[in-house]
Structure 1
Amino acid sequence: MAIIADVSSMKTRGKGMAFVGMAFSLGFIIGPLIGAIFAVWAKTKVGDWFVFPALFALLLSFADLIFFIACFKETLPPEKRAKSIKASLKTANSFINWRDLFQFKAVTGLRSSDLYELRRLGRIYFVYLFIYSGLEFTLTFLTHHVFQYTSMQQGWMFFAIGITMALVQGGYVRRVPPNKIRPTAIYGLWIIVPSFICVGLAQGPFLLYLGLFLFAVSTAMVVPCVMTMASEHGKDHQKGTVMGIFRSLGALARALGPIFASIAFWSVGSKVTYLSGAVGLLWPVLTLTQKL
């Protein structure tokens, strides 16, 4: 019975991660289109026109915060919550200190094998998102300077990427059985390598679109599956801590990746940047395929 419950719980977490990914994909669809509409509108304006899209984004952030406060309730029982502000701050430090993040110091009492696997998944997730976010961020540079895309064309490009991600996550990833989650993550990691190669070598629309399609499919597969694998570790009251650390690693990767990719893009060019990214992405997939 315990085994059945564990499998059911894993399947539920997998579906949950897929639905979260679908929500992200929908944001990926709508956000760039709104930005493109603002860019087109800005051509008819003079002065500090950029204040309006910034205020619109701020309004959305506040609406998101209000919705979260109103609709999401604390599920952790009072007896398991932090007893003091000092204890909370001490725990919070483990989520902002990058060394502690990679070591998963906030997760205690794990077996050495579980802790090793968590740290390995964390490094894989970080490297993947670090390189992935670099291409994602510099796509606007590439399509504008190499393919002369307008702002609206770029918006439609991201719309297509988001649609692809939503369809893959909603139609395929959420139905992946528990015993196929790891292989699915590995397939997704393999797929993004030729994606970077195609985009880096693209001189026309075919290679570019092929690379972006593989890019979207890879993201739809890798992120939910790796997060689901991470959620298997730790006791029930530690799940939130584990997932919080993974989200922090993802945020760190998304903060640093675009900086390094932008420097490389403008220093050595798009071809060298993306082909180097393809080589770098071999490490996550080869690491994940290794047995403990």
Structure 2
Amino acid sequence: MPSKSEKTAHLGQGDAAENETRKISTTKLGIIIFMSLFIDLLGFTVILPIMPKLLEFYGDQGSDSLYLAMKSSVESFRVLVGAPDTAKWNSVLFGGFIGSLFSLLQFIASPFIGAASDVYGRRPLILLTMIGVAASYVIWIFAGNFTLFVISRVIGGLAKGNVSLSVAIVADAYKLSERGRGMALIGIAFSVGFLIGPLIGAGFAAGAVPAVGVGEFFVAPALFALSMAILDILYMYCAFEETLIESKRAKSLFSTENNVFDLINPVSLFLFKAVPGVAPEEKRTMKRIGFIYFLYIFLYSGVEFTLTFLTYLKFNYNSMQQGKMFFFIGLVMILILGGYTRRRPTGTEKSTALSGIVLLMPGVLCIGFAQSATLLYTGLLMFAYASSTVVPSMTTLISVYGTESQKGSVMGVFRALGALARGLGPLSISAVYWSVDSETCYIISACAMLIPLALLATTKVKASPKQD
């Protein structure tokens, strides 16, 4: 009979073998998630540089009733906030309205997609949402009028669920002690995609890539986006295996304690009503983290949106110079996410998020008061640090809540709150920007960051991942 020490040694070897197997599987899964998000974002972001040209194209038609209605709304908003009546700002504000629409659609869809994935599994839902995104690109190819273009964006916004599902996949497969690295990997995929995709779009916008033989100028980028979507579908169909095992799936989409209204009502989402059966103390913490996340994204996305205004007015930056500025932010984010955030010790997610918010405040002030490129880029450096630390860390914090059969619902609600913030923040902060001077707007934004900072600092989070 083996001695106690021999048994212990054997168990230790077994644990080590199990951990090694898990490490290999999560490494492979991480590569799959990264590649899928990267391919998706190449197609998703290609439209960004050509958006002004698209709006100009649809505006020249002059007969689309939906375009005229949205133009009237943008004009009313411009007059209300006192923005100058120029083609450039009208285009930026119009793009902001469309971007807000897309975010609000994600706010509606994310909780449903997350909850459905808890019942039916991640794989069928992620493939289904990818097919929806591909369908939106098909409609874009034929969008000779603004109404069809908006329909394509509506379908794309409702189907865009791969990000929240990727987060749920990380929560499924990664141990708590590894989960922060998985969330950071999602952030890296985002940063690389947003770095390269717009460059491809800029090539289309500049005519560097010729259009397809017939059709409008947007047919070529739309076909590129569609090809990326199809590639992503094929890749995930062949490479991705289900991570939510049968025994841990939810029994139904709606329980006796929640209903469809809880998945679309903003108040219910802030209360996480779609995640029933959680202990009261844990539910309070979930609600607090969700509210902090909403406030942070609301302020952050608003400042990010107004960077275009500020750099044009203060530094006379053209589109190319602004593109270089966002390229700098994206490059710094990749370096921080890959070299710092992923390597942070487990259990430090809260302190990492706090450090990001703390640095964001002087960063915003540096940007707002910059009279030189040196001070501007100093502020952008701190802005990029916050971008690379706060969201991955807070996503890891919220991922420990709920049962194994509720991870999709938790992440769906969490992503929905962020989408709602991105839908409201840009237009709200730009209204402040044009109503007062830029320095005052950025002072207000920096000071407002004290609210999520104080709330997070005083939040007692659930047992940290280092205790896993």
Paired amino acid for 1:235:
T
Cα distance in 2 between the residues matched to 1:193 and 1:164:
18
Q: What do the CA deviations read for 1:124-146 (whole angstroms, capped 9, x no partner)?
A: 11111111111212212222232
Partner SS, residue 179 of structure 1: coil
Structure 1 counterpart of 2:330: 162
Query: Aligned match of 2:364 in 171, 196, 205?
Result: 196
Work out whether 1:18 is the aligned partner of 2:184. yes
> Does the 8 A contact of 2:254 with 2:260 survive in 1?
no
Structure 2 counterpart of 1:227: 395
Structure 2 counterpart of 1:178: 346
> CA distance change for structure 1 residues 163 and 101 in 2, over 3 Å: closer, same or farther?
same
Work out whether 1:127 is the aligned partner of 2:306. no
> CA distance change for structure 1 residues 148 and 286 in 2, over 3 Å: closer, same or farther?
same
Cα distance in 1 between the residues matched to 2:360 and 2:385:
8
Structure 1 counterpart of 2:440: 272
> CA distance change for structure 1 residues 60 and 273 in 2, over 3 Å: closer, same or farther?
farther
Partner SS, residue 175 of structure 2: helix
Paired amino acid for 1:124:
I
Cα distance in 1 between the residues matched to 2:458 and 2:351:
12
Q: TM-score, normalised by structure 1?
A: 0.85
CA RMSD of aligned residues (A): 2.9
Query: Aligned match of 1:259 in 408, 427, 431?
Result: 427
> Does the 8 A contact of 1:36 with 1:155 survive in 2?
no
Q: What do the CA deviations read for 1:112-171 (whole angstroms, capped 9, x no partner)?
A: 111111111101111111111112122122222321222222222111111111111111
> Does the 8 A contact of 1:33 with 1:156 survive in 2?
no
Mean alpha-carbon deviation: is it higher for 8-17 or for 66-75?
Answer: 66-75
Query: Aligned match of 1:9 in 162, 175, 178?
Result: 175
The answer to which structure, 1 or 2, has the higher relative contact order (CA under 8 A, 6+ apart) is 1
> CA distance change for structure 1 residues 34 and 146 in 2, over 3 Å: closer, same or farther?
farther
> CA distance change for structure 1 residues 146 and 56 in 2, over 3 Å: closer, same or farther?
farther
Cα distance in 1 between the residues matched to 2:201 and 2:436:
28
Query: Aligned match of 1:100 in 260, 268, 276?
Result: 268
Cα distance in 2 between the residues matched to 1:13 and 1:144:
40
Partner SS, residue 203 of structure 1: coil
> CA distance change for structure 1 residues 164 and 272 in 2, over 3 Å: closer, same or farther?
same
Mean alpha-carbon deviation: is it higher for 57-66 or for 237-246?
Answer: 57-66
Q: What do the CA deviations read for 1:168-223 (whole angstroms, capped 9, x no partner)?
A: 11111111112222111111111111111111111221121011110000110111
Cα distance in 2 between the residues matched to 1:241 and 1:9:
19
Paired amino acid for 1:202:
A
Cα distance in 1 between the residues matched to 2:367 and 2:386:
14
Partner SS, residue 315 of structure 2: coil
Partner SS, residue 385 of structure 2: helix
Cα distance in 1 between the residues matched to 2:439 and 2:294:
23
* Structure 1 unaligned residues grouped into runs of 5+: none
Could you tell me how far 1:269 is from its partner in structure 2?
3.4
Query: Aligned match of 1:250 in 418, 442, 446?
Result: 418
> Does the 8 A contact of 1:39 with 1:151 survive in 2?
no
> CA distance change for structure 1 residues 181 and 208 in 2, over 3 Å: closer, same or farther?
same
Divergent runs of 4+, >4 A = 47-71, 77-87, 90-93
Partner SS, residue 178 of structure 1: coil
Structure 2 counterpart of 1:289: 457
> Does the 8 A contact of 2:250 with 2:406 survive in 1?
no
> Does the 8 A contact of 2:282 with 2:401 survive in 1?
yes
* Structure 2 unaligned residues grouped into runs of 5+: 1-10, 12-18, 20-173, 461-468
Could you tell me how far 1:86 is from its partner in structure 2?
7.5
Work out whether 1:34 is the aligned partner of 2:200. yes
Partner SS, residue 238 of structure 1: helix
Structure 1 counterpart of 2:28: none
Structure 2 counterpart of 1:143: 311
Mean alpha-carbon deviation: is it higher for 231-240 or for 68-77?
Answer: 68-77
Paired amino acid for 1:219:
S
Cα distance in 2 between the residues matched to 1:209 and 1:36:
23
Could you tell me how far 1:75 is from its partner in structure 2?
3.5
How many residues are matched? 283
Q: What do the CA deviations read for 1:73-104 (whole angstroms, capped 9, x no partner)?
A: 443345665667777xx755433321111000
Could you tell me how far 1:236 is from its partner in structure 2?
1.7
> CA distance change for structure 1 residues 68 and 248 in 2, over 3 Å: closer, same or farther?
farther
> Does the 8 A contact of 1:165 with 1:220 survive in 2?
yes
> Does the 8 A contact of 1:14 with 1:178 survive in 2?
yes
> Does the 8 A contact of 1:14 with 1:228 survive in 2?
yes
Percent of aligned pairs with the same residue? Answer: 48
Paired amino acid for 1:288:
L
> Does the 8 A contact of 1:36 with 1:154 survive in 2?
no
> Does the 8 A contact of 2:290 with 2:414 survive in 1?
yes
